[in-house]
Amino acid sequence: MTVKHIITKKLEKINNLNVKENAKMKNYTTFKVGGTADLLITPHNKESLSKALKYIDHANIPFLALGSGSNIIVSDKGYRGIIIHLEELNNIKISENKVIAQTGVSLSTLANKARKAELTGLEFASGIPGSLGGGLFMNAGAYGGEMKDVVESVLVVNYKGEFERVNSKKLNLSYRNSILQKKDLIAVEATIKLKKAKKEKIEAKMKDLNSKRKQKQPLDWPSAGSIFKRPENDYAGRLIEEAGMKGYSIGDAQVSKKHAGFIINRGKATAEDIKKLIETVRNKVHEESGIYLEVEPKFIGEAADKTKKGDN
């Protein structure tokens, strides 16, 4: 019996944990690309997650903690390891001006719960296509707001299954960065501190921001959001457009005609198409401006199998 089969049998015995073999990753990512993962497990509570991590760590098998899959590009060859899908960790509690939420919940759902409770501060997140876990991992932000502005503390679990609460200062949240990218930690639950406000005012702001998104972003196509990080004192979309790459395609992967900062999947794009297009765009922008754009999504698959990564 192989290590894979042994760990599968052990994981299947954990209560409140679903185990799926050969999961098609295109069904779990917003780009809709990627081959199969050896195993995909879905914990229904933090206790089952902790037990699963202990087994996985002991077996020394590569794994990836995944939320909504909005900020990753999975190789066409798939992932030789275990995907820990956190979507069922989605409980939300609200007490006065604080929201305590598990990290599998989507940012849009979280923002709407805050709106209904007349709490302001999460309007910027209402249109971000990702989970709370991914939002913490990347310090997600939009229209002047970022997760670092509202997060008070985060409950994390290390790769040995041990829990610890980390305050916002120790999270080192900065532009598209956090301690979660550097340490062997998975965010499980966050305490978010907001302010009271009239529901009408919150709704008006959310409506305005989401209207701007619809006007400027290619929301009708699969993508991973902004494909490049914002260069200092400039914008990736502007540089790409000036380099003449807006609308450029490789296979069904295309630089959006609506917003050059996005690469979209027009239906049958492969991860390799997207990767080649990213490199082509980067090289052209560098040739024209001297600026080498930094990719925002994480590449997952054959080349990354030996590296454990956090929530996306």
List residues with catalytic annotation: 176, 226, 296
Token output for 255: 């630089």
Q: How far is CA 136 from the centre of its chain?
A: 9
Pairing between β-strand 63-66 and β-strand 36-43 as defined by DSSP bridges = unpaired
240, 281 Cβ separation under 8 angstroms: yes
Residue among 190, 183, 194, 170 at smallest CA distance from 67: 190
Q: How far is CA 69 from the centre of its chain?
A: 5
